[in-house]
Structure 1
Amino acid sequence: MTINGQQFKRLVFCDSSLALEIERNLECFRGEGIFPNMVIRYEREIWVEFVQGRLIKEVDDSLVEKVAMFYSRLYSEASRLVETNTTLFPDRLDRDLYFLNQIGILSNGLLGELRKSVDALQPTHCWIGFDYTDPVKKNFVLNPKTHLLCAVDVEGLVSEYLIGMGAAKALVRWLNPFKNEFFRLLATKGAPDIQAYYGFIELCFLAQWTKRAFFERDWKAIKPDYFEGYRGL
């Protein structure tokens, strides 16, 4: 929307508690340039600054570095190393896999093999913190003023998350050819080391994403073949 020549983005949520949570998350990165700055929250409504920039068209080394910079900043903010079994993610992963089996997406045999693989992949400790869960290319702009990648769809910014699940969506969908370079850049920028147990992270993402796609009736996003790579690990 435009008021007095100034552009803003207005978001209305289902309730005020969700709007408050998003406001709190955004304020942690105010002035960083990787998200639009908050303008105001009123009950269940949020206004943020409108960020002009160039949409992502080509994925190259320069863009991969900007994506790594974006996620390294997120993952370095108030992240903490915890015992994995004290988090909700192992139970959630098993629940999601079982549900996918119940509705016929995963066979009984594949479910059994995936559960064995989870036992091998699950780390003793994992990093919890901020993440950005919707890194589709249309949700980013390249800001010509800051030369940073800015995520304009602010609903995807979450806290208390298994770090890496957000980046996993990009790595599965469009960043996969640059996976090794992405992790190398994350490490050089001082982000928590998640590469050693990325298989567990990606499996958590795939199960959650496929389950959500089922409820949203996004049939094209449901690809059981994604899970085949986790047989017999």
Structure 2
Amino acid sequence: MTEFTKVMSVPILPGLKGTGEHDHCPASANHGLPGAWWGIHVEDPTKSTMFVNYETPDAYAAFQRSATCCPELQKAVSVPHEATFDAILSPPAGKVLGAAPIIEVAKLQLKAGVTREAWLAQMVLMQKLLDAIDACKGYAAGFVEGNDDYLILVGWDTVESHTEWMKGEKATPGSPVHDFGAMIETSEMHHIAIREVMPGASRH
């Protein structure tokens, strides 16, 4: 069955803002979801993002209204969000969301004329670069449902690991990063410090 990832901006969860180990939302069931995670924006700590993996709209709806969900989280997923979208990511998003303390979230609009086939071929080269980096803890990527935007999630051990790696690649002639950037019209990128792992999710 296809697994979707819903990405949404949510209010800061006041009862779950610990700055040490990952806070845990007590719940007695996983709501029938493969997993859900949330975290605070590194660049703007007044914002947070939630990632929810689900297989059917009914499963997500059940999660929203679940009485076993802690009150802060239930409120957060029930109010209007600044931005929300769904994507089918490969590998499944849980592998990276459950493995890294920092998640790079990049939503990209491709330039006119860039085909999906050409873009995916370029992504293969980018993934080979990431596979060779110890500081990279995995990735998931795919097109956003309903349009041609592309979502990339990359796990890092620190924000600096990402920024220093990108700086080095941009300074390297012939790096796939150059052709990658040339295909992008606009991009939105930020880093999330993962704070929450809910039942159904795991860190390995």
TM interval, short-chain normalised: under 0.3
> Which structure is higher in helix share?
1
Q: Please identify which structure carries the higher strand content.
A: 2
Give the TM-score normalised by structure 1: 0.21
Greater C-alpha Rg = 1
Higher relative contact order (CA 8 A, sep 6+): 2
